[in-house]
Amino acid sequence: MYKIVIFIILFMFLSCGSDDSPTNSITRQLEFAIDNERNTFINNQFYANENCNEIFISVSTVSLELDSKFLLEISLNKKGNINSFSFVDYSDDNRLYRTADFNPSQTFLIENFKLDEQLNSLYFEFEGTLYEIDTPENTKRISGAVTVEDFQSIDCSFTPKELDVVINQELFSKTNVVGLSSENEFRWIAFSDNDIKLELVTDKDLSDLSTGVYSFARGDITNIVSIEKYIGQPKATHIKLLKDEDWKSYEYEGELIISKQIDGIDPITNGSFNFKVFEGNELVYEITNGSFSL
C-beta of residue 44 within 8 angstroms of C-beta of residue 30: no
Task: Indicate whether 187 and 131 sit together in one domain.
Answer: no
pTM (predicted TM-score): 0.84
Q: What is the CA radius of gyration of the chain?
A: 25
Confidence at residue 24, expressed as pLDDT on a 0 to 100 scale: 66
Helix residue ranges, H only, 70-137: none
pLDDT at residue 16, as a whole number: 39
The answer to whether residue 7 is domain-embedded is no
Same domain, yes or no: 174 and 283 = yes
Give the per-residue pLDDT at 178.
87
Which pLDDT score is estimated for 7?
38
pLDDT means over runs of 10, the chain (294 residues): 39 38 75 90 90 93 78 94 94 95 95 94 97 96 95 86 80 83 88 91 92 95 93 93 93 95 90 94 90 91
57 domain-assigned: yes
Report if residue 99 sits inside a domain: yes
- Do 37 and 70 fall within a single domain? yes
Going by C-alpha positions, the residue among 38, 81, 76 that lies closest to residue 55 is 76
